[in-house]
């Protein structure tokens, strides 16, 4: 077991433990903050896989964007100064069945798929390649995503300004 394996297990433990806390804690704000560590653990694993650009994107988008949005949402929809924001569990049985089936499907896929394993070559820079691919092979998807985000932005702005009429 070398140094990078230890780091990998640390990141994996952080990810799994904090994900467990996200699910089990009864305080919504706590679970939102535990999500931060989950995202970080995942980013760390991306770094170990040599995908530095994706790791940083993970932090920028999930921690800097989605998590903050989530926190704002949680804080603004509840009584804002209350530390005792709680959540409960309902419909235990259907939830257990649904997650059981999903888990089974995932495990089945993991077991029965024939994984192609090659000796990994860590690419020195991924950023340039990603940029090239985005603007050549995947340019249509890239543009469509851009338009989708623009539409969402305009929609959000129009909803926010509606009461001024």
Partner 1 sequence: MYQFLYNLIGNEIIAGLLVAVVPLTIILVFALFGIWLERKVSAHMQDRLGPMRTGWHGWLQTVADLMKMLQKEDIIATDADKTLYNIAPVLVFTGSFAVYAVIPFSSKLLGSEVEIGLFYVLAISSLVVAGILMAGWSANNKYSLLGAMRAAAQIISYEIPTALIVLSMVMLTGTLSLDKISQMQTSSFWNWNIFGGAIFSLSKFLLIPFMFVGALIIFISTLAEVNRVPFDIPEAESELVAGYFTEYCGMKWGMFMLAEYGNMFAVSAIISILFFGGYQSPFGYLGNTIGAQWLVPFEQGFWFLAKGLTLVFVQMWLRWTLPRLRVDQLMTVCWKYLIPYAFINLIIIGIISIL
* DSSP states of 16-62: HHHHHHHHH-SBHHHHHHHHHHHHHHHHHHHHHTT-HHHHHHHIIII
Helix (H), strand (E) at residue 150:
helix 139-160
CA distance 151 to 165: 21
Q: How far is the CB of 150 from partner 1 (least distance, A)?
A: 14
Q: How far is the CB of 47 from partner 1 (least distance, A)?
A: 9
Closer residue to partner 1 (CB): 60 or 145: 60
CA distance 19 to 128: 33
Q: How far is the CB of 76 from partner 1 (least distance, A)?
A: 9
Closer residue to partner 1 (CB): 83 or 109: 83
Closer residue to partner 1 (CB): 82 or 99: 82
CA distance 5 to 122: 16
Q: How far is the CB of 38 from partner 1 (least distance, A)?
A: 12
Tokens describing residue 138 = 């995947």
Closer residue to partner 1 (CB): 60 or 144: 60
Interaction site with partner 1 (CB under 8 A): 3, 29-30, 33, 36, 52-53, 56-57, 59-60, 63-65, 67-68, 71-72, 75, 80-81, 83, 124-127
């Amino acid at each position: 077991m070398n140094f990078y394996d230890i780091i990998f297990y640390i990141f994996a433990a952080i990810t799994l433990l904090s994900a467990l806390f996200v699910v089990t804690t009864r305080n919504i704000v706590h679970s939102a903050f535990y999500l931060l560590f989950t995202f970080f653990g995942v980013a760390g694993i991306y770094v170990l896989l040599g995908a530095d650009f994706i790791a940083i994107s993970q932090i920028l988008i999930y921690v800097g964007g989605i998590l903050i949005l989530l926190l704002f949402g949680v804080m603004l929809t509840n009584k804002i100064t209350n530390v005792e924001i709680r959540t409960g569990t309902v419909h235990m049985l259907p939830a257990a069945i649904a997650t059981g089936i999903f888990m089974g499907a995932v495990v089945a896929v993991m077991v029965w798929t024939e994984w192609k394993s090659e000796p990994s070559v860590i690419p020195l820079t991924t950023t340039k390649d990603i940029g090239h691919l985005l603007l050549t092979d995947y340019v249509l998807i890239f543009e469509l995503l851009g338009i989708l985000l623009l539409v969402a932005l305009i929609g959000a702005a129009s909803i926010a300004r509606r009461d001024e009429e």
